[in-house]
Amino acid sequence: MENVRTAGFTPETPLILGMMRLHDHPELTRPDNLANWIAARLDEGLNLFDHADIYGGGECERLFGNALKTHPLLREKVRVITKAGIVPANQDRSPWQVKHYQAEAGYLESAIDRALVSLSIEQIDTFLIHRPDPLMQADDVARALEKAVSAGKVRQIGVSNFLPEQWRWLAGNTGLPLVCNQSQLSLAHTAPLFDGTLEAHLTDGLRWLAWSPLGGGNLAARIPTDILDRALAETGLDETGLAVAWLRQLPGTPVPVLGSMSPDRIRSALHGAQSLLPRPLWYRLLESVRNQAVA
């Protein structure tokens, strides 16, 4: 049997391209322009694109799908991650108009079918439950996910923003392996490195897909300029490259989910993904951002 724990998220997978802000780029709302952008990323060796049904109110998946319909040859080259399970308040059809989670079997089955249509693809590479839902009936959800994998609609499954016991409860109800957890991790968010969360990922074989890997884009303001200048001189990496190199040096090689669609920022991140930081510099960056000396 294929080892789906690593299939698609090998140590060599450098970056995942996050599509959350796609609708904010007017030039990329045209199918031809977006198709050219996708093709350029494929030429750089980047073929994983991260979506969710709520990104842009569904617009991001639709725009991506329009580009694939216009240039169907791209469809065979891209691999898509998507997520479902969050209902924003403005999409709640009940009288309560409240944001809530809906990790229910029927809801997720419908979300998978909608995503396939919106994205104009035949199979979702990796489907994630977007947030842990306290009301989730894990056995029912597991059967729905198993059915989607068996039908070829989804290749592999994972979770997003789950804590260890939350993903273990779902994993204990299905024979399918959970291949990943997409959760926040960066130089600016290091708590999971000191509370056992990283080790839980490693123990259970979940690849960490790190969202906000650049700390919201303000790391340069949090690292002293002289340290950035010295690091650039030693490694050739700007702050984006340093943040990505720092992240990928962790055990298990977390994969950054890069939110920027700027080609220059993507190239900087790719340079970082292919670089190894000296251990003292790794700790100096950690110390700088935490504003706390290593104990």
For residues 268 and 14, give the distance between their C-alpha atoms in angstroms, rounded to a whole number. 12
> How many CA atoms lie less than 13 Å away from 228 in the CB half-sphere?
14
For residues 233 and 246, give the distance between their C-alpha atoms in angstroms, rounded to a whole number. 16
Q: Which residues of 253-281 are buried (b: 16+ CB within 10 A; e: fewer)?
A: bbbbbbbbbeeebbebbbbbbebebeeeb
Lookup result for tokens 């998978």: 112
Q: Which residues of 73-84 are buried (b: 16+ CB within 10 A; e: fewer)?
A: ebbeebbbbbbb
For residues 202 and 191, give the distance between their C-alpha atoms in angstroms, rounded to a whole number. 16
| CB count in 10 Å sphere of residue 34 | 24
Lookup result for tokens 């056992």: 196
For residues 160 and 138, give the distance between their C-alpha atoms in angstroms, rounded to a whole number. 15
Query: 221: Cβ–Cβ under 8 A, 6 or more apart, which residues?
Result: none
What sign for the dihedral angle of Cα 49, 271, 12, 276?
Answer: negative
* 55 annotated active-site: yes
Catalytic residue among 55, 101, 107, 283: 55
Q: Which residues are catalytic?
A: 55
